[in-house]
């Protein structure tokens, strides 16, 4: 004769259920979820810290010249919350991928962060002199010649004698403008000179040593010419002044930032081209 035990009571069924490994697995998962929500927050929770409020208030005062009222700060905070939520959702949906504008903004933020690591200081005179010598192409300009000349047409019967008389008068210290001949002058670069005077003069005048009058000749004229001075070229450190210091700071900082990014970021990457 077969006997059967009493039917399962609710407490006994619960005990067997709790003893199942699958029950343990789901219970552990539930505990982890609750712990995450308690200590981390919901996946889409945006935490508004006191630092965020303080920064929004500071930015408002910079833009408007006064602190925001409670209502104005609340409006700024609401805009910040919307932008934060939208930006997070855009990143969640990977909208930042393959967008050159976003890539540029993020790369620039990395450069700005690296720039904070570069110490700010004033350059020494020796550093500026070395910088100017190494970057002369940034500052040098074409030489400019302050010149004048007097032409004696070869068609004149006494062209040679007239030039000699004029030359003697100049040697005696007389003003060339007072000697009855047109004195043509200019303050031109060699390139500009080619468009203003005879080609032979344009080729010869830049080679004259500044100072005295010298004899030249073209196919049509006998000439007395002189270069009074030469400008342009490479300015001195003193002439460049604040511009040189600003350029030194800007470019040396950029070089330092590039070195930091190379060491801390770029050296971690390998770049390959697909065939």
18-57 burial by CB neighbour count: b if 16+ within 10 A, else e? eeeeeeeeeeeeeeeeeeeeeeeeeeeeeeeeeeeeeebb
- Residue 217 CB contacts under 8 Å (≥ 6 apart), including other chains: 200, 223
108-132 tens-digit pLDDT? 999 999 999 999 999 999 999 999 9
Query: What's the full length of the chain, in residues?
Result: 275
Sign of CA dihedral 187, 245, 108, 49: negative
Query: What is the spatial distance between Cα 149 and Cα 193, in angstroms, rounded to a whole number?
Result: 13
Write phi, then psi, for 68 (nearest 5 degrees).
-75, 150
Sign of CA dihedral 69, 74, 80, 82: negative
131-179 tens-digit pLDDT? 999 999 999 999 999 999 999 999 999 999 999 999 999 999 999 999 9
DSSP letter string over 227-249? Answer: EEEEEEEPPPHHHHTHHHHHHHH
Cβ–Cβ < 8 Å for 118, 260: yes
- Enclosing H/E stretch for 39: helix 21-39
Cβ–Cβ < 8 Å for 132, 244: yes
Give 222's strand partners. Answer: 152, 217
Tens-digit pLDDT string for the chain (275 aa): 444 455 555 556 655 655 665 555 555 555 554 454 444 445 678 899 999 999 999 999 999 999 999 999 999 999 999 998 888 888 888 888 888 888 899 899 999 999 999 999 999 999 999 999 999 999 999 999 999 999 999 999 999 999 999 999 999 999 999 999 999 999 999 999 998 999 999 999 999 999 999 999 999 999 999 999 999 889 999 999 999 999 999 999 999 999 999 999 999 988 888 88
- Residue 213 CB contacts under 8 Å (≥ 6 apart), including other chains: 167, 170, 224, 225, 226
Q: Which 8-state DSSP code applies to residue 267?
A: G
pTM: 0.53
Residue with tokens 């009493």: 6
Cβ–Cβ < 8 Å for 213, 226: yes
Write phi, then psi, for 37 (nearest 5 degrees).
-65, -35
């Amino acid at each position: 004769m077969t006997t059967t035990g009493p039917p399962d009571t609710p407490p006994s069924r619960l005990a067997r259920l709790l003893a199942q490994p699958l029950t343990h697995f789901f219970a552990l998962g539930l505990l982890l979820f609750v712990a995450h929500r308690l200590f981390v927050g919901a996946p889409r929770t945006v935490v508004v810290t006191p630092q965020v409020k303080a920064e929004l208030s500071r930015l408002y005062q910079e833009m408007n010249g006064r602190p925001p009222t409670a209502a104005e700060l609340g409006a700024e905070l609401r805009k910040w919350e919307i932008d934060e939520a939208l930006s997070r959702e855009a990143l969640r949906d990977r909208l930042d991928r393959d967008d050159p504008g976003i890539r540029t903004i993020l790369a620039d933020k990395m450069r700005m962060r690296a720039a904070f690591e570069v110490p700010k200081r004033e350059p020494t005179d020796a550093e500026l002199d070395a910088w100017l010598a190494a970057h002369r192409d940034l500052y040098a300009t074409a030489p400019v010649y302050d010149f004048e000349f007097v032409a004696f047409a070869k068609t004149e019967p006494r062209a040679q004698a007239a030039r000699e008389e004029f030359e003697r008068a100049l040697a005696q210290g007389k003003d060339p403008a007072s000697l009855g001949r047109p004195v043509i002058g200019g303050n031109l670069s060699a390139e500009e000179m080619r468009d203003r005077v005879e080609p032979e003069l344009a080729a010869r005048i830049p080679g004259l040593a500044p100072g005295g009058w010298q004899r030249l000749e073209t196919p049509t004229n006998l000439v007395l010419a002189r270069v009074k001075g030469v400008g342009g070229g490479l300015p001195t450190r003193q002439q460049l002044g604040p511009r040189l210091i600003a350029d030194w700071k800007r470019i040396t900082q950029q070089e330092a930032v590039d070195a930091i990014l190379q060491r801390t970021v770029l050296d971690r990457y390998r770049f390959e081209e697909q065939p």
